[in-house]
Amino acid sequence: MSKKVQFGVMLHGPGGHMNAWRSADVPSDASVNFEHYKNITLKAEDAGFSFIFVADGLFINDKSIPHFLSRFEPLTLLGALAPITSHIGLVATVSTSYSEPFTIARQLATVDMMSGGRAGWNVVTSPLEGSAKNFSKDKHPEHSLRYDIADEHLSVVQGLWDSWEDDAFIRNKESGQYFDKDKMHELNYEGEFFKISGPLNIERSPQGQPIIFQAGASPKGSAFAARNADAVFTHAGTLEKAQKTYADLRKQAADNGRNPDEIKVFPTLQPIVGKDEQEVRERYEYIKNLVTVEEALAYLGRYFDHHDFTQYDVDAPFPELGDIGKNSFQSTTDDIKARAKENNMTLREVALEETTRESPFMGTYEEVADQIIEWIENNGADGFVLTPHILGDFFHDFIDKVVPILVEKGYYDTSYEGKTLRDELGLPFKENRYSK
Ligand SMILES: Cc1cc2nc3c(=O)[nH]c(=O)nc-3n(C[C@H](O)[C@H](O)[C@H](O)COP(=O)(O)O)c2cc1C
């Protein structure tokens, strides 16, 4: 049986909750603890998860989420995980605003080769202004320009990935022929932002090219995803919203001449599960109590490019912010502003809710399994990126208690579809543009 629902797991140290590091079931240094990453990855692989997904950021200050202050660089981490895994996909977040296409193409192709075709790239444009100062730039490019750069960056990387046709390397020891010169291609790209000749100094992997993930959700972000992404990581608080995003991405992909079945949609899934209603409530209360209002204000501020929310009365209605947030996590900040207004929320309520939002996937094991099936059956998702508040019991319980129910109901199986991440996601081998 093939999987009707697929799972990835977001690996960000102790978990998605800003104070996850304080929980007894994770090491306090989880974000730089390789054993922790290894254990989670191997358990996910054992459970047949399709991929691990490593998020990233390029700017910190003393208001940052504690475990963001010291964390592993994603591609280096994948390099270490590649040889100790054999089936699970390895997806890393890398910024198009602050990286060189040639370097990124090489690094991702290396992970792709080392893992036998299991690499993926979460293409992000980097929301935080302060990143510019870490990359010798005077100014952080504004939101729309960042996507223009991303378009060119990605097309250069994908062009470089086709530098060599699949049978270009002969390596015949007897004849002495190492490669076929006709199957080596220069890119000679010249655009508005990049000027790159190529060829890339590494061949293609068994899946042709790494998978492209995308996570931006503004109109420009989803247009970018619909043109380019094999898989999209989305936030959807309700099935209705998920259905809208799902239909919209597929439609936009089709409008771009793509097969809509070749863009897979993975909403985030933050499970809060338990054996009964009481345990679920207790677990939710536990994560709620892990954070103070002051910490929640700093957490909220990060989405708005570290806006200082302590200047407002926390019990007054959520402040009018004008364009603040538009140039950072635009889609997220638009959503926060709209929800605050719609529900007449105070700043305190918004800040606390952001750190520990009630998830639609909150309930007994059986209820959450049914909820997942409902989303899959009703065109809300192709799969989910599991983003547990804490990468300890919340994660283990999901795998040990919810996954077996999905298996029993015929929605999931723990085996793998093929050898590559493309095989696993049901995506075709990426043909080389020159061999077509
Ligand atoms: C679900 C989701 C996950 C994201 N993950 C990352 C990440 O790991 N690192 C990063 O720099 N940006 C991340 N972003 C930010 C985007 O790359 C983008 O810069 C930001 O969301 C603004 O684009 P948008 O308004 O189109 O969403 C994420 C955004 C979303 C919605």
Q: How far is the CA of 136 from the centre of ligand 1 (A)?
A: 22
Q: Residue 114: pLDDT above 80?
A: yes
Atom of ligand 1 nearest to the CA of 331: 25
Atom of ligand 1 nearest to the CA of 219: 26
pLDDT at 329: 87
- The candidate with the shortest Cα–Cα distance to 224, out of 147, 158, 159, 156, is 147
3-class state of residue 201 by DSSP: coil
- The candidate with the shortest Cα–Cα distance to 301, out of 278, 282, 324, 274, is 324
- Determine if ligand 1 sits within 6 Å of the CB of residue 115: no
Q: In the numeric block, which tokens belong to residue 356?
A: 């520990």
The H or E element spanning position 169 is: strand 169-172
- Determine if ligand 1 sits within 6 Å of the CB of residue 56: yes
Q: Is 25 annotated as a binding residue?
A: no
Q: Is 56 annotated as a binding residue?
A: yes
pLDDT at 357: 81
Q: How far is the CA of 144 from the centre of ligand 1 (A)?
A: 13
Ligand 1 pocket test: pick from 12, 52, 99, 124 the residue with the most ligand atoms within 8 Å of its Cβ. 124
Residue in the structure block whose two tokens are 């538009």: 326
Work out the percent of the chain whose per-residue pLDDT is above 90. Answer: 93
- Report ipTM for this prediction: 0.95
The answer to whether the CB of 254 falls within 8 A of the CB of 261 is no
333-356 average pLDDT score: 93
Q: 6-272+358-425 architecture in CATH? A: Alpha-Beta Barrel (3.20)
pLDDT at 140: 96
CA trace torsion 393, 84, 117, 49 (10° rounding) = -20
399-423 average pLDDT score: 96
- The pairing of beta strand 169-172 with beta strand 177-179: antiparallel
pLDDT at 3: 86
Amino acid symbol at 369: A
Q: Is 218 annotated as a binding residue?
A: yes
Rounded to whole angstroms, the Cα distance separating 415 from 213 reads 23
The answer to whether the CB of 331 falls within 8 A of the CB of 221 is yes
Q: Residue 416: which region, alpha, beta or left (left: phi > 0; alpha: psi -120 to 50)? A: beta
- The candidate with the shortest Cα–Cα distance to 268, out of 235, 293, 308, 237, is 235
Q: What φ, ψ does residue 423 adopt, rounded to 5°?
A: -55, -45
Q: Residue 20: which region, alpha, beta or left (left: phi > 0; alpha: psi -120 to 50)? A: alpha
Which protein residue has the closest C-alpha to ligand 1 atom 9? Answer: 56
Q: In the numeric block, which tokens belong to residue 399?
A: 């795998």
Cβ-based neighbours of 185, under 8 Å, separated by 6 or more: 162, 163, 164, 165, 198, 199, 434
Q: In the numeric block, which tokens belong to residue 302?
A: 């990060």
pLDDT tens digits, one per residue of 55-101: 999 999 999 999 999 999 999 999 999 999 999 999 999 999 999 99
238-247 average pLDDT score: 96
Which protein residue has the closest C-alpha to ligand 1 atom 23? Answer: 216
User: Per the omega criterion (within 30 degrees of 0), is the bond before 210 cis?
Assistant: no
Rounded to whole angstroms, the Cα distance separating 284 from 391 reads 15
Q: What is the DSSP string of 93-125?
A: EEESSSS-HHHHHHHHHHHHHHTTS-EEEEEE-
Q: Residue 1: pLDDT above 70?
A: no
- The candidate with the shortest Cα–Cα distance to 120, out of 409, 420, 385, 342, is 420
Work out the percent of the chain whose per-residue pLDDT is above 70. Answer: 100
- Determine if ligand 1 sits within 6 Å of the CB of residue 218: yes
- The candidate with the shortest Cα–Cα distance to 336, out of 288, 299, 373, is 299
Q: How confident is the model at residue 283 (pLDDT cuts 50, 70, 90)?
A: very high
Q: How far is the CA of 126 from the centre of ligand 1 (A)?
A: 7
pLDDT tens digits, one per residue of 4-57: 999 999 998 999 999 999 999 999 999 999 999 999 999 999 999 999 999 999
Cβ-based neighbours of 178, under 8 Å, separated by 6 or more: 169, 170, 171, 172
Q: In the numeric block, which tokens belong to residue 217?
A: 């959700």
The answer to whether the CB of 427 falls within 8 A of the CB of 6 is no
- Determine if ligand 1 sits within 6 Å of the CB of residue 211: no
Q: How far is the CA of 319 from the centre of ligand 1 (A)?
A: 23
The H or E element spanning position 264 is: strand 264-269
Query: Where exactly does CATH 3.20.20.30 map onto the chain?
Result: 6-272+358-425
Q: In 310-399, which ranges are E strands?
A: 362-364, 383-386
- Determine if ligand 1 sits within 6 Å of the CB of residue 380: no
Mean pLDDT across the chain: 96
Q: In 293-429, which ranges are E strands?
A: 362-364, 383-386
Q: Encode 203-268 in three state secondary structure.
A: CCECCECCEEEECCCCHHHHHHHHHHCCEEEECCCCHHHHHHHHHHHHHHHHHCCCCHHHCEEEEE
The answer to whether the CB of 228 falls within 8 A of the CB of 157 is no
Q: How far is the CA of 329 from the centre of ligand 1 (A)?
A: 6
| pLDDT-wise least confident of 112-116, 127-131, 148-152 | 127-131
Q: How confident is the model at residue 327 (pLDDT cuts 50, 70, 90)?
A: confident
Q: How far is the CA of 221 from the centre of ligand 1 (A)?
A: 9
Residue in the structure block whose two tokens are 């054993």: 35
pLDDT at 305: 85
How many C-beta neighbours within 10 Å does residue 66 have?
16
Q: Residue 407: pLDDT above 70?
A: yes
CA trace torsion 360, 366, 372, 373 (10° rounding) = -140
